[in-house]
Chain A
């Protein structure tokens, strides 16, 4: 039972490049999330999907897009990476919006 799987684990981008972070869960959870974590800033919600077919902005959505491909998969896309997007990104899932979150192992992204 893999839980929440994120790929890649590490990525280095140049300013202006694009990339997609992939996330899949095998727990049959309804809700999925993307967070970023920066030193001193805690976990900040980028986007979330309450259920398959819906997506909503979180606290820091600018510069990102998401796709809830199906119930299992939720991807995060950076269209034109900026140094301010250097961070650790976590995908998470839960049965519902106020249920405990289960996190993936994270993606460490550096934008130069």
Chain B
């Protein structure tokens, strides 16, 4: 089982709708969770971080964390074509005796005008 799993997509959403991206993780004691956006040919950029159960909102973005079910999700409201990108989930995990951030493979999101 991969430590951090995401549906690779592509996920296609009409403009103005809500895009929902999901991520599951295997390390029950993970404490830090991040969402990165990566445009084609560019580097990943941090868009959300979440550390506690529940929802965290930042503009059109909402991160949701459920530690009991070991999943974290990202909702994008009022999706815009500029939101078309690959979204990477990152979770801290204990690997080989050290804490590291582990990335999922990313979900490719396309917003259709």
A45 to B103, CA, bound (A): 9
Contact-residue bracket for chain B:
20 to 34
Asked if A79 CB lies within 8 Å of chain B CBs, one says no
Asked if B99 and A98 make an inter-chain contact with CB atoms under 8 angstroms apart, the answer reads yes
A42 adjacent to chain B (CB < 8 Å): yes
Looking at the assembled complex, report how far the CB atom of A4 sits from the nearest CB atom of chain B, in whole angstroms. Answer: 9
- Answer yes or no: A100 CB below 8 A from chain B CBs: yes
* Secondary structure dominating the interface of A: loop
- Point out the residues of chain B lying under 8 angstroms from A100, CB to CB: 34, 46, 49
Q: Which residue of B lies closest to A43 (CB)?
A: B103
With a CB–CB cut-off of 8 A, which chain A residues contact B79? none
Query: A5-39 CB contact bits vs B (8 Å, 1 = yes)?
Result: 00000000000000000000000000000000000
Given A102-B46, A103-B43, A103-B45, answer yes or no on A97-B103 (Cβ-Cβ < 8 Å): no
Q: Give every chain B residue within 8 A of A104 (Cβ-Cβ).
A: 43
Give residues in B with beta carbon < 8 Å to A.
8, 31-32, 34, 42-46, 49, 88, 90, 92, 98-101, 103-106
